[in-house]
Amino acid sequence: MIVITAASGNLGRLVLEDLLTRGVPADGIRAVVRDRAKLADYAGRGVEVVRGDYNDQESLVAALAGADKFLLISSSGNSDERVKQHLNAVAAAKQAGVPHLVYTSIPHAEVNPIEFSWVHKDTETAIRQSGIAFTILRNNWYFENLLGSVGAALEHGAFIGSAGAGKVGYATRADYAAAAAAVLAGEGHEGKTYELTGDVAVANAEIAAEVSAQSGKQVEYASLPEQEYAKALEGFGLPAELAAALAQADVAISRGALAETTDTLSTLIGRPTSTVAEAVAQALKA
Protein backbone atom coordinates (compact mmCIF):
# COMPACT_ATOMS: atom_id res chain seq x y z
CA MET A 1 0.00 0.00 0.00
CA ILE A 2 1.35 3.42 -1.03
CA VAL A 3 0.19 6.18 1.31
CA ILE A 4 0.39 9.88 0.43
CA THR A 5 -0.30 12.70 2.89
CA ALA A 6 -1.42 16.19 1.80
CA ALA A 7 -2.80 14.30 -1.17
CA SER A 8 -5.35 16.94 -2.18
CA GLY A 9 -2.68 19.59 -2.71
CA ASN A 10 -1.22 20.55 -6.06
CA LEU A 11 1.73 18.16 -5.78
CA GLY A 12 -0.25 15.37 -4.12
CA ARG A 13 -2.85 15.24 -6.88
CA LEU A 14 -0.14 15.03 -9.53
CA VAL A 15 1.55 12.16 -7.69
CA LEU A 16 -1.77 10.30 -7.49
CA GLU A 17 -2.35 10.78 -11.21
CA ASP A 18 1.17 9.71 -12.11
CA LEU A 19 0.93 6.54 -10.01
CA LEU A 20 -2.33 5.58 -11.71
CA THR A 21 -0.83 6.30 -15.13
CA ARG A 22 2.06 3.99 -14.26
CA GLY A 23 -0.42 1.20 -13.66
CA VAL A 24 -0.36 1.15 -9.87
CA PRO A 25 -3.76 -0.30 -8.88
CA ALA A 26 -6.10 2.31 -7.42
CA ASP A 27 -6.83 0.08 -4.44
CA GLY A 28 -3.09 0.01 -3.72
CA ILE A 29 -3.05 3.77 -3.11
CA ARG A 30 -4.28 5.52 0.03
CA ALA A 31 -4.69 9.30 -0.06
CA VAL A 32 -4.63 11.09 3.29
CA VAL A 33 -6.41 14.45 3.57
CA ARG A 34 -8.06 16.60 6.20
CA ASP A 35 -11.24 16.86 4.12
CA ARG A 36 -12.11 13.67 2.26
CA ALA A 37 -14.55 15.54 -0.01
CA LYS A 38 -11.59 17.24 -1.71
CA LEU A 39 -10.60 13.92 -3.28
CA ALA A 40 -14.06 12.59 -4.09
CA ASP A 41 -12.97 12.34 -7.73
CA TYR A 42 -10.12 9.97 -6.86
CA ALA A 43 -12.28 8.02 -4.44
CA GLY A 44 -14.63 7.49 -7.37
CA ARG A 45 -11.72 5.97 -9.30
CA GLY A 46 -11.01 3.46 -6.54
CA VAL A 47 -8.31 5.24 -4.54
CA GLU A 48 -8.77 4.81 -0.79
CA VAL A 49 -9.29 8.27 0.69
CA VAL A 50 -8.95 8.64 4.47
CA ARG A 51 -8.78 11.48 6.94
CA GLY A 52 -5.47 12.45 8.46
CA ASP A 53 -4.14 15.71 9.87
CA TYR A 54 -0.49 16.64 10.41
CA ASN A 55 -1.57 18.25 13.71
CA ASP A 56 -3.26 15.03 14.89
CA GLN A 57 -0.65 12.32 15.28
CA GLU A 58 -3.16 9.60 16.14
CA SER A 59 -5.09 10.25 12.93
CA LEU A 60 -1.85 9.74 11.02
CA VAL A 61 -1.06 6.49 12.83
CA ALA A 62 -4.45 5.16 11.75
CA ALA A 63 -4.01 6.45 8.20
CA LEU A 64 -0.60 4.76 7.92
CA ALA A 65 -1.70 1.33 9.11
CA GLY A 66 -0.51 -1.29 6.63
CA ALA A 67 1.53 1.16 4.55
CA ASP A 68 4.44 -0.22 2.55
CA LYS A 69 5.63 3.20 1.37
CA PHE A 70 4.70 6.62 2.73
CA LEU A 71 5.15 9.89 0.85
CA LEU A 72 5.38 12.72 3.37
CA ILE A 73 4.73 15.89 1.38
CA SER A 74 6.09 18.84 3.32
CA SER A 75 3.46 21.19 4.72
CA SER A 76 3.28 24.96 4.22
CA GLY A 77 2.95 28.02 6.40
CA ASN A 78 4.70 29.05 9.61
CA SER A 79 8.09 27.35 10.02
CA ASP A 80 7.59 26.37 13.68
CA GLU A 81 4.22 24.82 12.87
CA ARG A 82 5.61 23.02 9.83
CA VAL A 83 8.40 21.28 11.69
CA LYS A 84 6.00 20.14 14.43
CA GLN A 85 3.69 18.74 11.76
CA HIS A 86 6.53 16.92 10.04
CA LEU A 87 7.81 15.45 13.31
CA ASN A 88 4.26 14.28 14.10
CA ALA A 89 4.19 12.48 10.76
CA VAL A 90 7.60 10.85 11.28
CA ALA A 91 6.61 9.70 14.78
CA ALA A 92 3.33 8.35 13.41
CA ALA A 93 5.19 6.46 10.68
CA LYS A 94 7.45 4.84 13.28
CA GLN A 95 4.48 3.96 15.50
CA ALA A 96 2.60 2.47 12.53
CA GLY A 97 5.62 0.39 11.49
CA VAL A 98 5.99 1.99 8.05
CA PRO A 99 8.92 0.30 6.27
CA HIS A 100 9.84 3.10 3.82
CA LEU A 101 9.32 6.87 4.15
CA VAL A 102 9.79 9.28 1.22
CA TYR A 103 10.05 13.00 2.02
CA THR A 104 9.96 16.15 -0.13
CA SER A 105 12.78 18.41 1.07
CA ILE A 106 14.85 21.33 -0.22
CA PRO A 107 18.24 21.37 -2.01
CA HIS A 108 21.22 20.78 0.28
CA ALA A 109 19.02 21.14 3.35
CA GLU A 110 21.93 21.01 5.77
CA VAL A 111 23.69 24.07 4.30
CA ASN A 112 21.05 25.89 2.24
CA PRO A 113 21.15 29.64 3.07
CA ILE A 114 17.39 30.04 2.66
CA GLU A 115 16.27 30.62 6.24
CA PHE A 116 13.33 28.21 6.34
CA SER A 117 15.58 25.38 5.16
CA TRP A 118 16.04 24.51 8.84
CA VAL A 119 12.54 23.00 8.76
CA HIS A 120 13.69 20.45 6.19
CA LYS A 121 17.06 19.92 7.88
CA ASP A 122 15.35 19.08 11.18
CA THR A 123 12.80 16.86 9.45
CA GLU A 124 15.53 14.95 7.59
CA THR A 125 17.39 14.48 10.88
CA ALA A 126 14.27 13.09 12.55
CA ILE A 127 13.71 10.71 9.64
CA ARG A 128 17.27 9.43 9.78
CA GLN A 129 17.08 9.00 13.56
CA SER A 130 13.76 7.14 13.32
CA GLY A 131 15.35 4.00 11.95
CA ILE A 132 12.83 3.92 9.08
CA ALA A 133 14.26 3.26 5.62
CA PHE A 134 14.01 6.56 3.75
CA THR A 135 14.35 8.37 0.45
CA ILE A 136 14.84 12.13 0.53
CA LEU A 137 13.65 14.08 -2.52
CA ARG A 138 15.37 17.45 -2.35
CA ASN A 139 13.22 19.39 -4.80
CA ASN A 140 14.49 22.63 -6.27
CA TRP A 141 11.96 25.42 -6.99
CA TYR A 142 8.90 24.81 -9.11
CA PHE A 143 8.35 26.95 -12.22
CA GLU A 144 4.90 27.48 -10.72
CA ASN A 145 6.44 29.42 -7.83
CA LEU A 146 6.89 32.27 -10.29
CA LEU A 147 4.38 31.40 -13.02
CA GLY A 148 1.54 31.06 -10.52
CA SER A 149 1.33 34.86 -10.73
CA VAL A 150 1.45 35.02 -14.52
CA GLY A 151 -2.03 36.57 -14.66
CA ALA A 152 -0.97 39.50 -12.49
CA ALA A 153 2.29 39.82 -14.44
CA LEU A 154 0.37 40.09 -17.70
CA GLU A 155 -1.93 42.68 -16.16
CA HIS A 156 0.82 44.83 -14.66
CA GLY A 157 3.66 44.11 -17.07
CA ALA A 158 6.02 42.56 -14.56
CA PHE A 159 6.79 39.75 -12.18
CA ILE A 160 8.25 41.07 -8.94
CA GLY A 161 10.74 39.55 -6.52
CA SER A 162 14.21 40.02 -5.08
CA ALA A 163 16.10 37.32 -6.96
CA GLY A 164 18.00 39.68 -9.24
CA ALA A 165 19.88 37.78 -11.96
CA GLY A 166 20.15 34.67 -9.79
CA LYS A 167 19.52 31.45 -11.69
CA VAL A 168 17.33 28.60 -10.47
CA GLY A 169 17.28 24.94 -11.46
CA TYR A 170 13.55 25.14 -12.07
CA ALA A 171 11.39 22.17 -13.03
CA THR A 172 7.62 21.88 -13.10
CA ARG A 173 5.55 20.51 -10.27
CA ALA A 174 4.62 17.64 -12.59
CA ASP A 175 8.31 16.80 -13.05
CA TYR A 176 8.82 16.51 -9.30
CA ALA A 177 5.59 14.55 -8.94
CA ALA A 178 6.83 12.09 -11.54
CA ALA A 179 10.04 11.60 -9.57
CA ALA A 180 8.08 10.91 -6.39
CA ALA A 181 5.87 8.43 -8.25
CA ALA A 182 8.93 6.72 -9.74
CA VAL A 183 10.37 6.20 -6.27
CA LEU A 184 7.07 5.04 -4.80
CA ALA A 185 6.37 2.60 -7.63
CA GLY A 186 9.97 1.45 -8.01
CA GLU A 187 12.57 -0.37 -5.97
CA GLY A 188 16.10 0.25 -4.76
CA HIS A 189 15.70 3.84 -3.54
CA GLU A 190 16.12 3.21 0.17
CA GLY A 191 18.85 5.24 1.85
CA LYS A 192 19.12 7.64 -1.11
CA THR A 193 19.08 11.43 -0.97
CA TYR A 194 18.30 12.84 -4.39
CA GLU A 195 19.18 16.43 -5.34
CA LEU A 196 16.44 17.14 -7.89
CA THR A 197 16.64 20.07 -10.31
CA GLY A 198 15.73 21.01 -13.82
CA ASP A 199 18.25 20.23 -16.53
CA VAL A 200 19.07 23.92 -17.03
CA ALA A 201 19.21 26.83 -14.57
CA VAL A 202 17.43 29.99 -15.68
CA ALA A 203 16.95 33.50 -14.32
CA ASN A 204 13.50 34.93 -13.75
CA ALA A 205 14.10 37.52 -16.46
CA GLU A 206 14.38 34.67 -18.97
CA ILE A 207 11.00 33.34 -17.88
CA ALA A 208 9.48 36.82 -18.19
CA ALA A 209 10.92 37.11 -21.71
CA GLU A 210 9.32 33.80 -22.66
CA VAL A 211 5.98 34.97 -21.29
CA SER A 212 6.33 38.09 -23.45
CA ALA A 213 7.13 36.02 -26.52
CA GLN A 214 4.24 33.61 -26.10
CA SER A 215 1.61 36.10 -24.93
CA GLY A 216 2.48 39.02 -27.17
CA LYS A 217 2.46 41.31 -24.11
CA GLN A 218 5.61 42.89 -22.71
CA VAL A 219 6.45 41.40 -19.31
CA GLU A 220 9.60 42.07 -17.32
CA TYR A 221 11.10 40.80 -14.09
CA ALA A 222 11.42 43.64 -11.57
CA SER A 223 13.88 42.84 -8.78
CA LEU A 224 13.07 44.85 -5.65
CA PRO A 225 15.03 45.42 -2.44
CA GLU A 226 14.26 42.67 0.09
CA GLN A 227 12.15 44.74 2.47
CA GLU A 228 10.22 46.38 -0.36
CA TYR A 229 9.33 42.96 -1.79
CA ALA A 230 8.31 41.69 1.64
CA LYS A 231 5.99 44.69 2.05
CA ALA A 232 4.50 44.04 -1.39
CA LEU A 233 3.79 40.42 -0.42
CA GLU A 234 2.13 41.62 2.78
CA GLY A 235 0.02 43.91 0.62
CA PHE A 236 -1.13 40.84 -1.32
CA GLY A 237 -2.37 39.35 1.96
CA LEU A 238 0.53 37.17 3.08
CA PRO A 239 1.37 37.08 6.82
CA ALA A 240 4.37 39.26 7.65
CA GLU A 241 6.51 36.30 8.73
CA LEU A 242 5.87 34.38 5.51
CA ALA A 243 6.41 37.50 3.38
CA ALA A 244 9.76 38.12 5.04
CA ALA A 245 10.78 34.47 4.58
CA LEU A 246 9.95 34.51 0.87
CA ALA A 247 11.81 37.76 0.33
CA GLN A 248 14.87 36.38 2.15
CA ALA A 249 14.69 33.25 -0.02
CA ASP A 250 14.77 35.41 -3.14
CA VAL A 251 17.85 37.25 -1.89
CA ALA A 252 19.53 33.90 -1.28
CA ILE A 253 18.60 32.91 -4.84
CA SER A 254 20.22 36.11 -6.12
CA ARG A 255 23.42 34.84 -4.50
CA GLY A 256 23.23 31.42 -6.14
CA ALA A 257 21.39 29.32 -3.52
CA LEU A 258 19.38 27.35 -6.11
CA ALA A 259 21.56 27.62 -9.22
CA GLU A 260 22.94 24.08 -9.13
CA THR A 261 21.66 21.60 -11.71
CA THR A 262 21.91 17.82 -11.76
CA ASP A 263 20.62 15.14 -14.12
CA THR A 264 19.10 13.18 -11.23
CA LEU A 265 15.54 14.33 -11.85
CA SER A 266 15.61 13.63 -15.59
CA THR A 267 17.18 10.23 -14.90
CA LEU A 268 14.46 9.31 -12.39
CA ILE A 269 11.61 10.34 -14.68
CA GLY A 270 13.19 8.96 -17.85
CA ARG A 271 12.91 12.15 -19.91
CA PRO A 272 14.27 15.70 -19.99
CA THR A 273 12.75 18.06 -17.46
CA SER A 274 10.27 20.68 -18.68
CA THR A 275 11.73 23.64 -20.56
CA VAL A 276 10.95 27.29 -19.90
CA ALA A 277 8.85 27.35 -23.07
CA GLU A 278 6.84 24.31 -21.98
CA ALA A 279 6.30 25.66 -18.48
CA VAL A 280 5.18 29.04 -19.76
CA ALA A 281 2.84 27.50 -22.32
CA GLN A 282 1.21 25.43 -19.57
CA ALA A 283 0.85 28.44 -17.29
CA LEU A 284 -0.72 30.56 -20.01
CA LYS A 285 -3.09 27.72 -20.88
CA ALA A 286 -4.13 27.36 -17.25
**Residue of 105, 82, 114 lying closest to 250 (CA atoms):** 114
Of 82, 244, 214, nearest in space to 147 by CA: 214
pLDDT score at 131: 97
**pLDDT score of 86:** 97
pLDDT of residue 109: 97
In this predicted structure, what is the pLDDT of residue 78? 85
pLDDT of residue 77: 78
pLDDT at 17: 98
Check residue 76 and give its pLDDT.
Answer: 86
Domains in the chain, start-ordered, CATH in brackets?
2-139 (3.40.50.720), 140-171+197-260+270-286 (3.90.25.10)
Rg of the chain taking only CA atoms, in angstroms? 19
**What is the identity of the amino acid at 277?**
A
CA distances from residue 132 to 89, 128, 175, 250, 273 in whole angstroms, order as listed: 12, 7, 26, 34, 30
Measuring CA to CA, which residue among 177, 200, 213 is closest to residue 102? Answer: 177
State residue 138's pLDDT score: 98
- Across the chain, which has 286 residues, the per-10-residue mean pLDDT values are 97 98 97 96 97 95 97 91 96 98 98 96 98 98 97 96 98 98 97 98 98 98 97 94 96 98 98 98 95
What are 195's strand-pairing partners? 138
pLDDT at 286: 87
